[in-house]
């Protein structure tokens, strides 16, 4: 990756929330929920980083902390050499022209009282209020065509569109400012399989055309494999494995990654019937009371007494790194 320009560097990012139980005494101390607990990544120009993990692992909180929608507790987010966590509000707001986000629920993320023309144009009117109205409308129609929406639909409302069309509207809104990076927070999880493929292929085509970098969050590992250059695997707010798509899918090292990959469907019926699925034992621990040492040890087949005492750090390179005391690169 050294030949590509480094856009984003996240160092030891933590997002902790103070939780006060309704059943606690008034003087009882608040508990700490560790949603993200020390995750570091790098994102290069034109690259797609996939982020996977089961529900509650901190993927969405991590994405929101990068863009500043959730305040970080510790660590920093460096965008093109500037630390976003240290910038004044006005300067951070300006940086948001370069970093946009696509949300999970395509209909809930759109204002039902606004036409799609106004929804897509809103970022332009916010950051470039001096633009003439006709120029704004021309840009809106051009980006609608680019995402596969007819310009004659510009005065319709979100409820008149299907889920896939609403997600295209969300993509158009994110692209109207011509950003350098888009964070896609499970953008296809609420869509049918055939529509998922259309949206993923659209994102890949737009990435190639506009030189975008993507952080793509998803549950569906086959979708992540299709779109991602590198993959980050998260568990209980921690990064357990990071590597190229080829390395992660062909040679998963962490026991948690192996369990996830064993659940990916194989198109060949014979291979699908004969494959061995590695089932995880036990339940996902609470992020309020995570296990000591390695957070995965309560469900790990390789865990021993050492794992309860020592918290592993992720070791390796951008091409492949793993956080496990029992696995060596």
Instruction: Quote the pLDDT of residue 328.
Output: 80
Backbone angles phi, psi at 161, to 5 degrees: -115, 155
Q: What pLDDT, in 10s, does the model give residues 273-310?
A: 777 777 788 888 988 989 999 999 999 989 999 999 99
Report the candidate in 117, 106, 123 with the shortest Cα–Cα distance to residue 142: 117
Report the candidate in 257, 103, 263, 64 with the shortest Cα–Cα distance to residue 189: 103
Return the number of other C-beta atoms located less than 10 Å from residue 165's C-beta.
Answer: 20
Which residues sit opposite 82 in a β-bridge?
79
List CB contacts of 304: < 8 A, sequence separation 6 or more.
326
pLDDT at 1 exceeding the cut of 70: no
Segments making up each domain of the chain, as ranges: 114-177
DSSP letter for each residue of 34-60: EEEEEEEEEEETT-EEEEE--TTSSHH
Window from 5-14, 70-79, 117-126, 265-274 with minimum mean pLDDT: 265-274
Q: What pLDDT, in 10s, does the model give residues 71-113?
A: 999 999 999 999 998 888 888 888 889 999 998 888 888 999 9
What pTM, to 2 d.p., does this model score? Answer: 0.90
102, 170 in Cβ contact below 8 A? yes
Report the candidate in 179, 239, 204 with the shortest Cα–Cα distance to residue 10: 239
Both structure tokens of 6: 């480094």
Residue in this structure with the two tokens 């494999």, named with its chain if needed: 225
Strands (E), 20-114: 31-44, 48-52, 74-79, 82-83, 99-102
Mean pLDDT of all residues in 208-226: 89
Window from 145-159, 264-278, 288-302 with minimum mean pLDDT: 264-278
Sign of CA dihedral 34, 40, 46, 49: negative
């Amino acid at each position: 990756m050294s030949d590509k320009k480094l856009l984003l560097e996240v160092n030891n990012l933590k997002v902790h929330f103070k939780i006060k139980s309704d059943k606690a005494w008034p003087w009882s101390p608040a508990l700490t929920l560790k949603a993200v607990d020390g995750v570091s990544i790098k994102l290069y120009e034109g690259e797609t980083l996939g982020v996977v993990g089961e529900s509650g692992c901190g993927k969405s909180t991590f994405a929101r902390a990068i863009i500043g929608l959730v305040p970080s507790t510790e660590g920093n987010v460096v965008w093109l050499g500037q630390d976003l966590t240290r910038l004044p509000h006005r300067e951070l707001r300006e940086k948001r022209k370069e970093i946009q986000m696509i949300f999970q629920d395509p209909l809930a993320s759109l204002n039902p009282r606004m036409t799609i023309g106004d929804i897509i144009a809103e970022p332009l009117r916010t950051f470039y209020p001096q633009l003439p109205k006709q120029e704004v409308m021309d840009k809106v129609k051009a980006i609608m065509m680019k995402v596969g929406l007819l310009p004659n639909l510009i005065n319709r409302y979100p409820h008149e569109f299907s889920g896939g069309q609403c997600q295209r509207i969300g993509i158009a809104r994110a692209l109207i400012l011509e950003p350098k990076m888009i964070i896609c927070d499970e953008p296809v999880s609420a869509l049918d399989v055939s529509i998922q493929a259309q949206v993923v292929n659209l994102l890949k085509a737009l990435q190639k055309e506009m030189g975008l970098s993507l952080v793509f969050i998803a549950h569906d590992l086959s979708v992540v494999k299709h779109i991602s250059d590198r993959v980050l695997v998260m568990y209980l707010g921690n990064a357990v494995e990071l590597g190229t798509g080829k390395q992660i899918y062909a040679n998963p090292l962490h026991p948690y990654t192996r369990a996830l990959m064993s659940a990916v469907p194989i198109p060949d019926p014979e291979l699908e019937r004969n494959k061995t699925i590695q089932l995880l034992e036990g339940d996902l621990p609470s992020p309020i009371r995570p296990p000591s040492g390695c957070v995965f040890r309560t469900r790990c087949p390789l865990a021993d007494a050492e794992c309860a005492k020592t918290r592993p750090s992720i070791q390796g390179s951008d091409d492949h790194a793993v956080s496990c005391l029992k696995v060596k690169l």
